[in-house]
Amino acid sequence: MVVMEEFKHFVIVKFKEGVEVEDLTKGMEKLVSEIDVVKSFEWGQDIESLDVLRQGFTHAFLMTFNKKEDFAEFQSHPNHVEFSEKFSAAIEKIVLLDFPSTLVKKPA
Amino acid sequence: MVVMEEFKHFVIVKFKEGVEVEDLTKGMEKLVSEIDVVKSFEWGQDIESLDVLRQGFTHAFLMTFNKKEDFAEFQSHPNHVEFSEKFSAAIEKIVLLDFPSTLVKKPA
């Protein structure tokens, strides 16, 4: 079954040395809990892939929205704007992808 | 609600010029449909983020497994090994992260 219905905001980062990563992940969990248009939020720290494939990136953050307009609402939300400043100051490098997703196998 | 129960395989890539991307995405859809341990598979092409944030990457692929052992089974599956060779030949750059995920908001 292929459905196209969601909009994804994917971020991978390498944090600067000395950054309290847990403060940031807790802050992000709080942020998404405050903003209703965030449909789901998952994150993790790489523990498995080879260095050459990870390329220094350590954390992934995956947000799902029902539609692009909801993502736009999230982006312009004052809490997100405020958090983004704090987050940006803590990262050494980042890649960010935003796109409508094609779901091929649906989670049970 | 925070639960930890899934294992994610997250890949972002930039394909080489001239590559038939649709052949590869169709191939990947076929691959995951053949391998039962893949719990869900989503992918997309960036259409939104700024060039400076996208950093040349264009596509994201996200696979979900119930547990790390299922991911290991997927990785060593002959169909995956065969597909990986074809896929590797088509990419200009790649970042790959494998991690147990923390799900903060659950999809409805």
Residue A59 lies in a domain: yes
* A29/B103 Cα distance (integer angstroms): 10
What region, left, alpha or beta, does residue A55 occupy, with left being phi > 0 and alpha being psi -120 to 50 degrees? left
Per-residue pLDDT reduced to its tens digit, A1-32: 455 578 999 999 999 999 999 999 999 999 99
3-class secondary structure for chain B?
A: CCEEEEEEEEEEEEECCCCCHHHHHHHHHHHHHHCCCCCEEEEEECCCCCHHHHCCCCEEEEEEECCHHHHHHHHHCHHHHHHHHHHHHHEEEEEEEEEEEEEEECCC
Mutant choice from A12, A42, A64 vs B, greatest count of B C-beta within 10 A: A42
Per-residue pLDDT reduced to its tens digit, B21-30: 999 999 999 9
* A93/A16 Cα distance (integer angstroms): 8
Q: What is the ipTM for the molecules in this complex?
A: 0.82
State which residues form the domain around A26: 3-95
Q: What is the CATH number of the domain that holds B39?
A: 3.30.70.100
Angle CA B43–A75–A9, to nearest 5 = 15
Q: Is the pLDDT of residue A108 over 60?
A: no
A47 or B100, higher pLDDT? B100
Residue B24 lies in a domain: yes
Q: Say which of A53, A100, A105 has its CB closest to residue B32.
A: A105
Residue A104 lies in a domain: no
Tell me the pTM.
0.87
Residue A21 lies in a domain: yes
Residue A100 lies in a domain: no
Residue A103 lies in a domain: no
Least CA distance to B55: which residue of chain A?
A: A95
How many structural domains does chain B have? 1
3-class secondary structure for chain A?
A: CCEEEEEEEEEEEEECCCCCHHHHHHHHHHHHHHCCCCCEEEEEECCCCCHHHHCCCCEEEEEEECCHHHHHHHHHCHHHHHHHHHHHHHEEEEEEEEEEEEEEECCC
Token pair of B77, please? Answer: 């599956």
Given this model, what pLDDT does residue A106 score? Answer: 64
Residue A25 lies in a domain: yes
Q: Is the pLDDT of residue A50 over 90?
A: no
Token pair of B65, please? Answer: 């497994």
Say whether B107 and A46 touch across the interface (CB within 8 A). no
Given this model, what pLDDT does residue A102 score? Answer: 85
Residue B107 lies in a domain: no
List CB contacts of A30: < 8 A, sequence separation 6 or more.
none
